[in-house]
Amino acid sequence: MKKLYLFNLFFLFLATASFAQSQQDYSTNAVLAQRVKSLVQKYPQLVKSKSLTQTLGGRDIWMLTIGAGKTEDKPAIAVVGGVEGKHLLGVEMAIGFAEKLLASSGVDSIKNLLNTHTYYVFPNMSPDATEQYFARVKAERSGNENKTDDDRDGKLNEDGAEDLDGNGKITWMRILDPTGKYKLNTDDPRSLLIADATKGEAGKYILLPEGLDNDKDGDFNEDGEGGIHFNKNSSFNFKAFASGAGEYAVSEKENRALFDFLFDAFNVYAVVTFGPVNNLSNPVTFNASGIAKRIITSWYESDAKANALVSERYNKITKTKDAPKMQAENGDFSQWGYFHYGRLSFSTPGWWVPKVNPDSTRKEKKFVNEDAVASYLRWAASQGITNTYTPWKAISHPDFPGQTVEVGGLDPFVLTNPPYKMVEGIVGKHTDFLVALAGMAPKLDLVNIKTEKVADGLTRVTLKVMNIGDLPTYTRVGDRSYFLKKILVKVNLNANQTVVSGRKTQTIESIQGKENKELTWLIKGNGKVTIDAGSLTTGNKSIEVTL
């Protein structure tokens, strides 16, 4: 039997590995749909899939429910990828997590996890945008197919990018001009920096995205394809009239469909977003002034402590370092997850350009300037990556007659997405983290149970409701939202028993990790009573007490 079990496990591993090895690049929407279908066919008892909605571009927003039995009654983590359209790695991390988790479902620890826990996985919330990676002309895009008037001139999508050098990529234009604000980077002249006038520096270049001024308004590519950004359309800190934000918060089908599902999923205690914000490498800090107002802007102190605990576990498992500071944009989904959804909300891009030391064999020197492009090019050279930069090439540009215009620079997508060969390792580390996060989940136990006979046939029953998990049963911000389910404690009596003091049925506010709340009752009668405690985010616990 042991040999048969090991053979089956090995077969599952090979099946998953063979698919991953056959894929050489990030997933198109068609490939993603096939990966979803394959999981449902392989593991019908553990995974269900459905399309939450379709975008205006006709592309599915997939959802996977992973777990055994009645998944809606078990504590859950929501895993969301593709919140930023140019971050294809987030899609791979989400669907790759589902594949790796299910491939290990025969292992006892994972089997037990799936019997007690649920994962809701949403691989790609921006399928209209991510498909631009695979278009004839590759360009970074964040918006869906909703046509917009970003420059407010009464016309829709009238000024998009053009591939002026015909290389199938939208890169950059640098225009030699004394009014320009950019100068060549002395560390690496392939990149440009803003000149610092306070240091006596003068700019000599204008830097623009590759394209033409189609509407002749002086701006370039400001109103092209790619309408509303999923990651700018959430209700928290929504910024009206901003490009890509939408006419109002949660205006888009993608956002509404996900939020409608999540608001009904009372068993979700944490949201993990694979996107631009990173509070896993560097946890949030508590700011007292941020909660002393009607619209709070800071995590509550107890929630921030939970974030720090999870961050410590994340860094230990993934061994990531040198994470850049990322400021959340208006309407950011991961911020909504905490401030408006009221759950612990964790986010990470999963990868960023690693820092490398100068290579003396290449006569490299320590950088004087901090610049993302130069840092990427140095790292790429250390990895032997040579096809992600377009050398500057002079062209004739109708909007700049008689001026020197060059097209080139760093290729789209490469600053946020590593070479695909690195994806499997990144997915593996984050799968381990998501499994460990479930191990930190709030979980109830009833401890220190005492019974004491008192006068007139009364028994005093005392116990402690303890959260033996690391995370709170629900967030402190959840108290403010009034929308999360509290712990329900119920004393079940027979016809000859009566609760004289204490409440037969009561709810308990949030209990922090490893903390408890003491309850006591005076019960008249004899025999046995059952006491139940539980919530959708903690699971249930029952004990039997003899009076």
Cα–Cα distance measured from residue 455 to residue 462, given in angstroms and rounded to the nearest whole number: 17
* pLDDT the model gives residue 160: 73
* pLDDT the model gives residue 225: 76
User: Is 32 in the same domain as 55?
Assistant: yes
* pLDDT the model gives residue 23: 81
Number of domains in the chain: 2
Average pLDDT over residues 26-33: 97
User: Is 35 in the same domain as 48?
Assistant: yes
DSSP 207: E
User: Is 115 in the same domain as 29?
Assistant: yes
Last residue of a domain, one of 377, 411, 439: 439
User: Is 24 in the same domain as 53?
Assistant: yes
* pLDDT the model gives residue 61: 98
User: Is 483 in the same domain as 426?
Assistant: no
Average pLDDT over residues 431-458: 96
> pLDDT, tens digit, for every residue of 199-214?
999 999 999 999 998 8
* pLDDT the model gives residue 37: 98
Task: For residue 356, count other CB atoms closer than 10 A to its CB.
Answer: 14
Judge whether 370 lies within some domain. no
Last residue of a domain, one of 384, 409, 439: 439
Judge whether 262 lies within some domain. yes
Q: Indicate if the pLDDT at residue 181 is higher than 90.
A: yes
User: Is 482 in the same domain as 425?
Assistant: no
Judge whether 542 lies within some domain. yes
Count, residues in the chain = 547
Judge whether 293 lies within some domain. no
* pLDDT the model gives residue 1: 38
Q: Indicate if the pLDDT at residue 12 is higher than 70.
A: no
Q: Provide, rounded to the nearest whole percent, the portion of the chain with pLDDT above 90.
A: 80
> pLDDT, tens digit, for every residue of 295-328?
899 999 999 999 999 999 999 999 998 998 888 9
* pLDDT the model gives residue 149: 58
> pLDDT, tens digit, for every residue of 481-500?
778 989 999 999 999 999 99
User: Is 428 in the same domain as 465?
Assistant: no
Judge whether 459 lies within some domain. yes
Alpha helices in 44-175 (DSSP H): 88-103, 108-116, 127-130
515: CATH: 2.60.40.10
Domain that holds residue 15: 2-132+227-277+421-439
Last residue of a domain, one of 387, 409, 439: 439
Cα–Cα distance measured from residue 32 to residue 38, given in angstroms and rounded to the nearest whole number: 10
Q: Indicate if the pLDDT at residue 20 is higher than 60.
A: no
Cα–Cα distance measured from residue 360 to residue 357, given in angstroms and rounded to the nearest whole number: 9
Phi-psi region for residue 57, left (φ > 0), alpha (ψ -120 to 50) or beta?
alpha
Give the closest residue to 336 by CA, choosing from 326, 345, 327.
Answer: 345
Cα–Cα distance measured from residue 347 to residue 307, given in angstroms and rounded to the nearest whole number: 11
* pLDDT the model gives residue 36: 98
Q: Which residue has the higher pLDDT, 23 or 333?
A: 333
Contact predicate 465/446, CB 8 Å:
yes
Tokens, residue 329: 């944009």
Average pLDDT over residues 371-397: 94
Residue with tokens 């939202």: 481
> pLDDT, tens digit, for every residue of 59-109?
999 999 999 999 999 999 999 999 999 999 999 999 999 999 999 999 999
261: CATH: 3.40.630.10
Tokens, residue 167: 């290389």
Judge whether 416 lies within some domain. no
For every residue of 386-410, which 3-state class applies, written as one string?
CCCEEEEEEECCCCCCCCCEEEEEE
Cα–Cα distance measured from residue 7 to residue 35, given in angstroms and rounded to the nearest whole number: 23
Cβ contacts of 101-109, under 8 Å, gap ≥ 24: 101/66, 101/431, 101/434, 101/435, 102/39, 102/42, 102/43, 102/46, 102/47, 102/66, 103/12, 103/13, 103/15, 103/16, 104/12, 105/12, 105/43, 105/46, 106/5, 106/8, 106/9, 106/12, 107/9
Q: Indicate if the pLDDT at residue 133 is higher than 60.
A: yes
User: Is 434 in the same domain as 486?
Assistant: no
Model confidence band, residue 523 (pLDDT cutoffs 50, 70, 90): very high
User: Is 244 in the same domain as 270?
Assistant: yes
User: Is 429 in the same domain as 542?
Assistant: no
- What is the residue-averaged pLDDT of the chain? 91
Reported pTM? 0.93
User: Is 449 in the same domain as 494?
Assistant: yes
User: Is 47 in the same domain as 106?
Assistant: yes
Model confidence band, residue 147 (pLDDT cutoffs 50, 70, 90): confident
* pLDDT the model gives residue 22: 67
Judge whether 393 lies within some domain. no
* pLDDT the model gives residue 151: 62
Judge whether 20 lies within some domain. yes
